[in-house]
Each structure stands twice: as structure tokens, then as C-alpha cells.
Amino acid sequence: MTGPLRPVFSEGQVLAAADLSATVEYARGLSGRHARHLHDWGIAEGLALVTEPRTDPVTGARHVEVSVSAGYAVDGTGRELVLTEPVVLRESDFEEVNGASSAQDAQDEPYPVFLAAVDREPAAPPRPDSCGGTGARTRVEESYQILFGRLGDELLVDGQRPPAIGAAPADPPVRWLVLLGYVHWTDGHFGGVATRARGVPVRFAGVRADTVSAQSGALTLRTGTAVQEGRPAIVLSGGDQPSLVFGLYQGSGTVAPLMTVAANGNLTIEGSFSGRMPVGSTLVTSGTATDGMLLPLPAGITAEQVADGRALVHVHLTPRVSPAREESVLHVPAEATVDADLRVRCRARLYDPLNAPGEVVERPGAVDFLVVAAVPATNGGG
């Protein structure tokens, strides 16, 4: 096994075409390996599916014209794909792949659109050689082709495999598909576009790194290429007061902190805090309830946690004895229970042996309650 061969030259050497080609191929291989192994392939800039409203001159039906914006992508072989200007998608190309009748049966379904690399002869004629002959071509255009797929062809994207470690970027006939998005087909025209269908989204380029360092002393992670007000960002700052800040961009371009972790470990949040109860912990709430009321759960405990067994609820009820208007009235608790929905059932019996002998009156009552929620020790492996 040998590594990449780097061309070297000496004084007086006669350079053959193979020597010059080797120089170019060495640079291509270096660039391809860098792109393939230090980055994740995908769209790096532009290449969005853009729509313009149109009207069918025959039927008067409204539809859209779809074009691919100018942009740049890298495929899984490390090869660059460059569109220097927008390209309009042709409906005839779509019908050639999917068929007008087949597409009509799947009205408004999202069909994938791919970009792939291809070599072409440049438009300029070959340059004559020094001896006056026609000569061979001296340039190759690293071009592209836009392809329509059938329903489900987007699954082919994840099935592609990169070339060997030391291989240069792939040349035709090897083809690597970069998903640009999806088009909808309705009544013989494009009806719209989408960036995700059947669980497969457009793939954007990324970076592979275990360490990311900042020379300015602050590292910012945001969800867009440009600063936009209201968008989230994470800022890791060094200097005299190191901190980790999560917040939202303001109109001035600064990040308004929503959560800050200081160098000493102190956590500051602007909103409320809620989270999962640790194993073995308990939360308690108490108060007074009357007949028919639903008992509240302790703060931080939800009905879903109780229903699926993540939290166990224990309830203690103590009937309240209401003071009677007359001293001869006896107040006896008759019932103090709670059902599975934590609804209180509380009844009390009143008996006055002096004013109404033998008459017992039953009325709604009240209870003092104590609700204890606990996370069992077996939940989570504790």
C-alpha cells in the first residue's frame, strides 16, 4: 500500500502531460479528502427551491414556476457542486421521469429533486497546439445535473456510501445524489415545494470536530447564518468573567440572557424552572377542600406522571367539624374519601336531640387534605 503521490520537479526536466495532470489530481485528491473526512456532505450555501406564481394560458389554472437558486454543495465523495446562477426546472423533465398519468394519480404528492455532479466539455473550442494541429481539449467543466426522482427515491440518499479513504473525488459514471427538496405536482404543473417529506429532510453541510476554539475569547452557536432578532443563541465567554449564556438575539445584535451559568457554578434563569423529580424524593401540598372538589397535585407533578406510574400519590384527609349554630347540635363526619381522579367525597350528619328528636340531616362537608407525591426508588434504576 502506498500513500498519495505528490509530483516533484527538477531543473531541466521535460514536463509531459501526465506530470501536469498529476499536479492537478494531487490537489483534487487533497481537497476531496479534506471535504469528505473533516466535513459532512450537503448544501453549504443557497440551492433552495424557489417558486414564482404563474397562470396556465390555456386553462387559466394557477401554478408555480420552480427554480433552483445559485449556491454551493459538497457531495459525499468530496466533490464540489457549484451553481453560479438560478436554474429553472422544466416540467417536461419531471413528466419524463414520473409520467404525466402517474403523477396525476398521486396529486400533490412531494417528489424529490436531486443535484449530482457531471463532467462536460466546455463551450469554448479546444485550443490549437503549438504545431498548428487541432489538439486535444485542455479543460473539463465540472458541471452538474438536476434530476427528478420518483416517490420514495429520497430514501436512496442515506444508502450512498463514500469512497475509500485515499480516493480522489469521484468522476462519472459514479453519481452522488444531493437532495435539494421536493416539488408538488398538480393538474400538469408544479404546485409548490417542500424541504421535508416522508421523514427525509434536505441535508446541509456540517463539520466534524472534537474541539472548536475561538480566537476572540467568545464562541457563539446560533440557528441561522445571519443574526436575527428573536432567534436563540448560545454564547461561551472567557476572559475575566467566564460564563455560558443561552438567550435570544435582540435588535442590536446582542444576546439577551435567558439562562446563565457563571464560572462558580451559579445558575441564573429569567423564567420558571421545572424538571424531573430525582428518585426517592417527595413533594407535598396541603389545604382545605369541600365535597366535589379535585385535590391539587404538588407543584412539579403532572397527571401524566401519576397515570404512567412515574409518581405515586398518597392522600390523607381529616374531616373538619363545623361549629354548630346551637350548642345542642351534634356534627358527625359520615364520609371522607377521594377517588382515583382525586375528587373529594365528604358528607357530614347533623343531629339535634333537643329541637328535632330523631331527625338526622346529611350535608356536604369539608376536609383538611395532605397530598404527598413520591418517585419510587425502582424508577430509573435507583
Predicted confidence at residue 315, as pLDDT, reads 94
What does each C-alpha distance from 98 to 66, 101, 117, 146, 202 come to in angstroms? 17, 8, 22, 15, 21
How many C-beta atoms surround the C-beta of residue 134 within 10 A?
9
Cα–Cα dist 46/50, whole Å: 10
What does each C-alpha distance from 285 to 344, 356, 366, 370, 382 come to in angstroms? 15, 41, 17, 6, 25
- Look at the chain and count its residues: 382
* Cross-strand bridge partners of residue 271: none
- The residue-averaged pLDDT of 33-54 equals 94
Q: pTM surpassing 0.95?
A: no
- Please say whether the beta carbons of 371 and 284 come within 8 A: yes
Q: Determine the distance from the C-alpha atom of residue 295 to the mean position of all C-alpha atoms in its chain, rounded to a whole number.
A: 39
What does each C-alpha distance from 281 to 300, 312, 316 come to in angstroms? 12, 11, 18
Q: What is the DSSP string of 71-92?
A: EEEE-TTS-EEEESS-EEPPHH
3-class SS string, 193-224: EECEECCEECCECEECCCCCCCCCCEEEEECC
Comparing 45-49, 69-73, 284-288, 362-366, which segment has the lowest mean pLDDT? 362-366
Domain boundaries, the chain: 17-206, 217-269, 282-374
The tens digit of pLDDT for each residue in 288-327 reads 999 999 999 988 788 888 888 888 999 999 998 766 566 6
Predicted confidence at residue 168, as pLDDT, reads 80
Task: Extract the C-alpha cell encoding 123.
Answer: 463551450
Most confident of 77-91, 105-119, 365-379: 77-91
Comparing 69-83, 141-155, 309-323, which segment has the lowest mean pLDDT? 309-323
Predicted confidence at residue 43, as pLDDT, reads 97
Q: Give the three-class secondary structure for 21.
A: helix
Cα–Cα dist 169/78, whole Å: 5
Q: Is the pLDDT of residue 369 over 50?
A: yes
Cα–Cα dist 24/44, whole Å: 24
The tens digit of pLDDT for each residue in 240-261 reads 889 999 999 998 899 999 999 9
- Please say whether the beta carbons of 64 and 183 come within 8 A: no
Provide the pLDDT confidence category of residue 333 given band limits of 50, 70 and 90.
confident
Predicted confidence at residue 10, as pLDDT, reads 92
**More confident position, 354 or 215:** 215
Predicted confidence at residue 325, as pLDDT, reads 61
Mean pLDDT of the chain: 87
Provide the pLDDT confidence category of residue 167 given band limits of 50, 70 and 90.
confident
Q: Is the pLDDT of residue 104 over 70?
A: no
Predicted confidence at residue 380, as pLDDT, reads 45
Predicted confidence at residue 128, as pLDDT, reads 56
Q: Give the three-class secondary structure for 355.
A: coil
Q: Is the pLDDT of residue 129 over 60?
A: no
Task: Extract the C-alpha cell encoding 58.
Answer: 390555456
- The residue-averaged pLDDT of 315-342 equals 82
Residue 192 burial class via C-beta count within 10 angstroms: exposed 0-12, middle 13-18, buried 19 and up? middle
Residues 6+ apart with CB under 8 A from 162: 36, 76, 77
Q: Is the pLDDT of residue 191 over 90?
A: yes
The tens digit of pLDDT for each residue in 11-22 reads 999 999 999 989
